[in-house]
Amino acid sequence: MNLVFLGPPGAGKGTQAVEIARARGLTHISTGEILRAAIRDGTPTGLKAKQYVDKGELVPDGVVVDIVSEALAGGGSSTGWILDGFPRTLAQAKALESKTSETGVKGVEMVLYFAVPDEAVIKRLSGRRMCRACGASYHVDFMPPANDGVCDRCGGELYLRDDDKPQTVRNRLAAYREATEPLVDYYIEKGLLVEVKGDGGPETVRAAVEDILGERFC
């Protein structure tokens, strides 16, 4: 099974991708991770990407698609893969489809769209707290520390990242709506998209995903 996990920031798709990939023996392909790996390993496309990263610029869609396509062609699992964090735009989705067709790599078979209301996303992200010392992560509602503002692991100070402040999260959601939501209609038209209610707990969401995959792939 070749899957795309799609949804707004804070929808929990990354967490689900890791767990589902582990349970089903799939290759989990996180765009950020494979981009960093390609740069670190000095692959031809990694060297192209490095030129932009070194200048603080966004890596162009074409280079990102090439890196993702290389990861897909490399396989890593005969049972399939999960794309997490890609595609982000309609242009990337179309380019990926063309590239997999050109290279003979089996393309996307299902897109799981994790639908979460904006207010639930804001609550999830703005409730996160990070330790300044060791980087441990907490949540004021779902996984609070034993002592408010203090890391259980090392005693360091917990803080709210700028990216997780409510207004910043709203801005991130607005950017997502503009750039990524057109993908929903695109994959609906192709008959690939299945919506998952993503505002439950991780176990509830995972059970829903497993039910969907079980019906389609056994």
Positions marked active-site = 13, 88, 128, 161, 172
Which residues touch 147 (CB under 8 Å, ≥6 apart)? none
Task: Please choose, from the candidates 117, 122, 113, 116, the residue with its C-alpha nearest in 3D space to the C-alpha of residue 182.
Answer: 113
Task: Report the distance separating Cα 70 and Cα 74, nearest Å.
Answer: 6
| 189 residue type, one letter | E
How do strand 137-139 and strand 27-30 relate by DSSP bridges? Answer: unpaired
Nearest to 76 by CA among 113, 35, 25, 42: 25
Distances, alpha carbon 61 to alpha carbons 18, 87, 106, in Å: 24, 9, 20
Contacts of 56 (CB under 8 A, 6+ apart): none
Enter the tokens of residue 98: 């063309």
